[in-house]
A and B are shown apart, each in its own frame.
Chain A
């Protein structure tokens, strides 16, 4: 057995496949350690403030490597870091707080959005008034807002400000980041690189405070980009790895081993047992698996583990049962089995010690080859919108992308990344399986 496995070394595809599987296992371990379950769920399911600072539908940062342009990244500047805060008491007892948020913008192209978040602490019912000014690299100062009544936690969507849009005649974020004259259409503008600053000013009652954060959302983000809800896709891609591997392997082990053992038992005892097993197989082959899974997902639960259980249960009495049975029927006639009967081996011993091991050479490659089928089955369910409600999987990313028509909108990275990961995983197992098949089935080795 081990000697045979060592023969795998002669197959470059097998080595490649094993290499890929090892990398996937390492990635899984990294995901489990670096992003513990609760953290991954928080980052994926969201909550207040989890995704606010991420751009929407941003491409992966590595996309930069393929373009000559330096695509905009997200710039975040707040009073907690580079912001400068000046407090000046007014004669009426209020404090005039002025915050300058300077930032460098060295990128080609325009940001996707510009938003100013501000947090104010104050007593009384009158809302403080906020004024916002924009300073561009050429030293001009533009007034964005004056006398904006500020909530305790205020979000000023600069890029959605209709007044600014009317004033500039184009999108605010385009006008603010270019130094072209008024009225030049957006397509003819280029970004002006250099030092920008936003000056925010508010008069806050005595004892109150006020902090601001400016987010200039970029066009690229992180290793894998973001989706329509500003989620970092990296989380799903990382966590999808262990989930896909565990799902595929458990399903393969569960179904293949059970089928194998039951086929052996059925064939050995023959008669009624065999007949019942065959009838169950036939019934099971008539039941459409996917619609049943869809119904379970729709009516009861979409838990990944419930699906796993049902998939295993439904693949025990499947086509593989027929194949194994044919092989066992042949193996049953072998002389050494008769010899075992002659010396008085029990049924149990004959089946598990003599009959089953005979077919292991067929089982092992089969086992490895069915793993991708289950990995893709999970992805299929997720693509149909029946993915686990909590866990982030590759299939769910593809589903989100499909429902948001990512391909139509040209957001190819969104579909391609999980798809390529699925493909790599599937191919790796298939390559190892095909090589194992050739190693273990001597008839195939010559051809």
Chain B
């Protein structure tokens, strides 16, 4: 048991280091992409110039100078400040500065956007939006995962029934993404029936009581969660059901049946157990896909999360915020991948045993 734990720890650490490395490289690539065309430099220079101009004009003696002389002073000071902050160095060196600010999430100040609390720090803007994204996607991921798991188990028991055939026939509908169904759902429930809100996270003004707030939040979550379910549920039920069916035709399952074990015990021990790693992988890919789809889903439902922030930032060309969004997404993706590895290690003993030698992703 102790050795087991040690192997698990070593394995987890190894994975964490590898993923950390991947995050660094990925963010470096993002920095390069953002800066192509000198966007990061322009932002930085603008920030410095503004700071210098403010500082110079704040000095009382300077205010008496003629404008041309004042601008000369600002010009000179700005040049000095550029050198101070290392903007005269080649980009290859500066790119690492950007990388470090990105990694540490000290993302500087936004150009146009402000957080609801009035801060212009990119970090505050992002952190303010993160909870709403996590609430929506956390809830729908969990609903999606457990619904599809139990529905698939139930279907594999009723193989060939009309409901099974219906799921198989309808599985291709999941080829359309969630936001796409979102438009239809808004059309039906908000525009025509007028029973559910068009979008947003809570009513305006937000309800005062905690209970009222939660109720309003739930009401606003129905459509986005339903949209995500429409975009992914049937396909995952189908895939999982097929998977269970394949595994339930194994000899050891027949043997268990012959021994007279209850169907629940068979499902748990002989079907669910060996298929779990694959199921988890599929689920993680689903979540990763959803992080990416969040951008559009949130903007369709006007959900005040990271996704709609992305659109806002893009529309306002707010480079620091765009970079920040990428950083947050990279972290979220890496975290999802790491969780996947970790759960894998717990449920699949083979992974732990071969941790040192076996190379997987």
Interfacial residues, chain A to chain B (CB-CB below 8 A) = 13, 17, 274-275, 278-279, 281-292, 294-300, 319, 322, 325, 369, 372-373, 376, 379-380, 383-386, 398, 402, 407-408, 410, 412, 415-416, 419, 422-423, 426-427, 429-431, 433-434, 443-444, 446-447
Q: Are B191 and A296 in contact (CB under 8 A)?
A: no
Q: Which of B263-312 contact A (CB under 8 A)?
A: 285, 288, 291-293, 295-296, 299-300, 310-311
List the A side residues contacting B359 at CB < 8 Å.
274-275, 278
Question: Measured between alpha carbons, how far is A447 from B176 in the docked complex, in Å?
Answer: 25
Query: Shortest 5 CB-CB distances between A and B: which pairs?
Result: A430-B172, A288-B329, A430-B175, A372-B175, A286-B26
Question: Measured between alpha carbons, how far is A99 from B173 in the docked complex, in Å?
Answer: 58
- Interface: B73 (CB within 8 A): no
CB distance from B204 to the nearest CB of A (A): 16
- Interface: B337 (CB within 8 A): yes
Q: Are A13 and B172 in contact (CB under 8 A)?
A: yes
Q: Which of A298, A319, A372, A380 contacts B285 (CB 8 A)?
A: A319
Which size class do B's interface residues fall under? 35 or more
Q: For residue B160, which residue of chain A has the nearest CB? A: A447
Question: Measured between alpha carbons, how far is A295 from B36 in the docked complex, in Å?
Answer: 10
Extra contacts, 14 of them, besides A274-B359, A291-B322, A430-B172 (Cβ < 8 A), are: A275-B359, A279-B22, A281-B361, A286-B23, A286-B337, A287-B30, A291-B329, A294-B322, A298-B317, A299-B34, A376-B180, A384-B299, A386-B314, A422-B176
CB distance from A375 to the nearest CB of B (A): 9
Question: Measured between alpha carbons, how far is A292 from B325 in the docked complex, in Å?
Answer: 10
List the A side residues contacting B21 at CB < 8 Å.
279
Q: Looking at A291, A294, A398, which has the most chain B CB atoms within 10 Å of its CB? A: A291
Q: Are B19 and A385 in contact (CB under 8 A)?
A: no
- Interface: B159 (CB within 8 A): yes
Q: Are B292 and A289 in contact (CB under 8 A)?
A: yes
Question: Measured between alpha carbons, how far is A385 from B322 in the docked complex, in Å?
Answer: 16
Interfacial residues, chain B to chain A (CB-CB below 8 A) = 18-19, 21-23, 25-26, 29-30, 33-34, 36-37, 39, 159, 169, 171-177, 179-180, 183-184, 186-187, 190-191, 198, 242, 245-246, 249, 285, 288, 291-293, 295-296, 299-300, 310-311, 314-315, 317, 322, 325-326, 329-330, 333-334, 337, 359, 361
List the A side residues contacting B184 at CB < 8 Å.
419
List the B side residues contacting A297 at CB < 8 Å.
314
Question: Measured between alpha carbons, how far is A292 from B292 in the docked complex, in Å?
Answer: 11
List the B side residues contacting A295 at CB < 8 Å.
33-34, 314, 322, 326
Question: Measured between alpha carbons, how far is A433 from B191 in the docked complex, in Å?
Answer: 34
Q: Are A286 and B330 in contact (CB under 8 A)?
A: yes
Q: For residue A432, which residue of chain B has the nearest CB? A: B172
Q: Looking at A286, A287, A385, A415, which has the most chain B CB atoms within 10 Å of its CB? A: A286
With known contacts A281-B361, A447-B242, A288–B291 Cβ distance under 8 A: yes
Q: For residue A407, which residue of chain B has the nearest CB? A: B191
Q: Are B26 and A447 in contact (CB under 8 A)?
A: no
Q: Are B180 and A298 in contact (CB under 8 A)?
A: no
Q: Which of A285, A380, A419, A447 contacts B296 (CB 8 A)?
A: A380
List the B side residues contacting A300 at CB < 8 Å.
36-37
CB distance from A170 to the nearest CB of B (A): 28
Q: Are B175 and A283 in contact (CB under 8 A)?
A: no
Q: Are B198 and A408 in contact (CB under 8 A)?
A: yes
Q: Which of B169, B177, B325 contacts A376 (CB 8 A)?
A: B177
Q: Are A292 and B33 in contact (CB under 8 A)?
A: yes
List the A side residues contacting B179 at CB < 8 Å.
380, 383
Q: Are A291 and B325 in contact (CB under 8 A)?
A: yes
With known contacts A283-B22, A289-B292, A427–B175 Cβ distance under 8 A: yes
Q: Which of B172, B183, B326, B329 contacts A407 (CB 8 A)?
A: B183
CB distance from A421 to the nearest CB of B (A): 12
List the B side residues contacting A288 at CB < 8 Å.
291-292, 326, 329-330, 333
Q: Are A299 and B36 in contact (CB under 8 A)?
A: yes
Q: Are A294 and B361 in contact (CB under 8 A)?
A: no
Question: Measured between alpha carbons, how far is A443 from B186 in the docked complex, in Å?
Answer: 40
Q: Looking at B175, B198, B314, B361, which has the most chain A CB atoms within 10 Å of its CB? A: B175
List the B side residues contacting A410 at CB < 8 Å.
191
Q: For residue A281, which residue of chain B has the nearest CB? A: B361
Q: For residue A435, which residue of chain B has the nearest CB? A: B172
Q: Are B176 and A423 in contact (CB under 8 A)?
A: yes
List the B side residues contacting A431 at CB < 8 Å.
172
CB distance from B146 to the nearest CB of A (A): 22
Q: Are A286 and B22 in contact (CB under 8 A)?
A: yes
List the A side residues contacting B292 at CB < 8 Å.
288-290
Question: Measured between alpha carbons, how far is A60 from B131 in the docked complex, in Å?
Answer: 43
Q: Are B191 and A383 in contact (CB under 8 A)?
A: no
Q: Are A282 and B310 in contact (CB under 8 A)?
A: no
CB distance from A334 to the nearest CB of B (A): 20
CB distance from A368 to the nearest CB of B (A): 10
Q: Are B172 and A283 in contact (CB under 8 A)?
A: no
List the A side residues contacting B326 at CB < 8 Å.
288, 291-292, 295
Q: For residue B306, which residue of chain A has the nearest CB? A: A291
List the A side residues contacting B285 at CB < 8 Å.
319
List the B side residues contacting A376 at CB < 8 Å.
175-177, 180
